[in-house]
Structure 1
Amino acid sequence: MIDYWPLIGIALVVLGFALKFNPMLVVTVSAIATGLIAGMDWHEVISTFGKAFNDNRIIAIVWIVLPVIGLLERFGLQQRAATLIRSLKSATAGKLLILYLIYRQITAAIGLHSTAGQAQTVRPLVAPMALAAAEKQHGELTEAEAETVKAYSAATDNVGLFFGEDIFFAIGSIVLIQQILAGYGYDLAPLHLALWAIPSAIAAFLIQSTRLLLFDRKLARRGQ
């Protein structure tokens, strides 16, 4: 006979969210209650929590990094980055983002995916620096133009990561491609797939760089 009592934990989650209690507290209490109702003793429940945290500790790094980034922003990281860019005479938004694209593709290609990203670098550093470069060269931007600069900053990070990471053969996407091709009778080594990702990465770099330079020209023509 199936024991449905452990499902009370789901009801506790729904009730806790409905009453707008602290989500972390609700989930923790519900998990403990589920374990105890299922017949686990207190020490076994705590041990299961510890094992789950240890097995997934890499995920917790994100929640450590985000507060650090928030503190850096609170104490003027964006302003310092913008000041640095304003001191460079020839810096433009397009040129700056092209340099970031090179960095993002190279680091992704060697497996260093987490050295940059939307939260880690685009919001606190890249976007403010691109805005500062655009304002230095073309004067004050409209709200729409500023949002476009931010969008290009985010898009550059996505392009660099997406087309750079497949060059690193020890990644899940390469394994997925290999398994799908194997199902159709094409037996390819991960290294071969990674090598053939290089032309795509080069093409992506050239296309995105062209878009960024055209955006620079568009900003330059707006006052004419």
Structure 2
Amino acid sequence: MVTIKLIGIIIIIIGFLLKLDTIAVVIVAGITTGLVSGLDFFTILSTLGEAFVKTRYMTLFLLTLSVVGILERNGLKERASKCIGDMKSITTGKVLTMYMIIRTLAAAFSVRLGGHVQFIRPLIYPMAQGAGEKKNGALSDDKNETIKGVACAVENYGNFYGQNVFVASAGVLLVVGTLQELGIIVTPYSVSKAAIPVAIIGLIFSVIQNHMLEKKISKIGGESK
């Protein structure tokens, strides 16, 4: 009788194979699994509602994604590139370094700022690319891909190392919980305090990497394929 509780998986597989509505298939699978497990209908609905509330931030992400897509279609990337190209003495390395500082500070104060989809693709990468083209002319595909990779790396550095500076971040709580299970008693404050020099080292490393990127794209100049 335990095997019948896996009927929800079968429903999902069949629903996906028949290309039925995804949300409807998942809801039907969840309700069916709950019923065969002995739960009453209202308990099942309550569980589904709690799961939706806990994952509501995913819905916000999907809304953000669609908004960014509309803005890109209407020339957001081109506008960002043009704006940065109008600034004097701006370079690719400076653009990425400024974003690294902002991203690290935002993560340290638990401010939801940044993201590959929300910031890097539509704003930071076009700005860095525009700064490089202003100084060196049209860049090759290889150099553009390098700029794109470093821009994504800057996002990762700032988010990964900056968030642990915030005493109540998920990463800090995970470290505290893991160490406590191993018999090592630490406080979130001590973990955050130890994360500060690591964040500073990450920032210095990013500055060096951005400087090396600037030298690389300026070495030969603005050739294009």
TM-score, normalised on structure 2? 0.88
Q: Does 1:48 align with 2:47?
A: yes
Which residue in 1 is equivalent to 2:173? 175
Q: CA deviation at 1:21?
A: 3.5
In the superposition, relative to structure 1, how do residues 208 and 55 fare at CA in structure 2: closer, same or farther (>3 Å)?
closer
Q: CA deviation at 1:52?
A: 2.0
- Aligned to 1:134, the other structure's residue is in SS state helix
Aligned pairs for 1:99-110 (under 5 A) are: 99-110=98-109
The one-letter code of the counterpart of 1:84 is C
Q: CA deviation at 1:80?
A: 1.3
Q: CA deviation at 1:192?
A: 1.8
Matched pairs, number? 222
- Find the aligned partners of 2:178 and 2:44 in 1 and give their Cα distance: 40
Q: What is the alpha-carbon root mean square deviation over aligned residues?
A: 2.2
Q: CA deviation at 1:3?
A: 4.7
The one-letter code of the counterpart of 1:132 is G
In the superposition, relative to structure 1, how do residues 78 and 35 fare at CA in structure 2: closer, same or farther (>3 Å)?
same
Name structure 2 gaps, 5 residues minimum: none
Of 33-42 and 129-138, more deviation after overlay is shown by: 33-42
Which residue in 2 is equivalent to 1:197? 195
Q: Deviations over 1:149-198 (max 9, x none)?
A: 11010000101111111111112222232234445554332112211211
The one-letter code of the counterpart of 1:187 is I
- Find the aligned partners of 2:182 and 2:40 in 1 and give their Cα distance: 50
Which residue in 2 is equivalent to 1:94? 93
Q: CA deviation at 1:40?
A: 5.1
Which residue in 1 is equivalent to 2:115? 117
Q: CA deviation at 1:43?
A: 5.0
Of 44-53 and 150-159, more deviation after overlay is shown by: 44-53
Which residue in 2 is equivalent to 1:138? 136
Q: CA deviation at 1:20?
A: 3.5
- Find the aligned partners of 2:162 and 2:78 in 1 and give their Cα distance: 30
Q: CA deviation at 1:143?
A: 1.1
Which residue in 2 is equivalent to 1:213? 211
In the superposition, relative to structure 1, how do residues 187 and 11 fare at CA in structure 2: closer, same or farther (>3 Å)?
closer
Q: Does 1:29 align with 2:28?
A: yes
- Find the aligned partners of 1:223 and 1:173 in 2 and give their Cα distance: 42
- Find the aligned partners of 1:36 and 1:56 in 2 and give their Cα distance: 23
Which residue in 2 is equivalent to 1:129? 127
Instruction: Show structure 1 runs of 4+ deviating over 6 A.
Output: none
In the superposition, relative to structure 1, how do residues 29 and 80 fare at CA in structure 2: closer, same or farther (>3 Å)?
same
- Find the aligned partners of 2:183 and 2:44 in 1 and give their Cα distance: 47
Name structure 1 gaps, 5 residues minimum: none
Which residue in 1 is equivalent to 2:12? 13
Aligned pairs for 1:150-189 (under 5 A) are: 150-183=148-181, 186-189=184-187
Identical aligned residues as a percent:
36
In the superposition, relative to structure 1, how do residues 13 and 145 fare at CA in structure 2: closer, same or farther (>3 Å)?
same
The one-letter code of the counterpart of 2:22 is P
- Find the aligned partners of 2:184 and 2:5 in 1 and give their Cα distance: 47
- Find the aligned partners of 1:184 and 1:52 in 2 and give their Cα distance: 31
Q: Deviations over 1:33-68 (max 9, x none)?
A: 334444556555444332321233233221221111
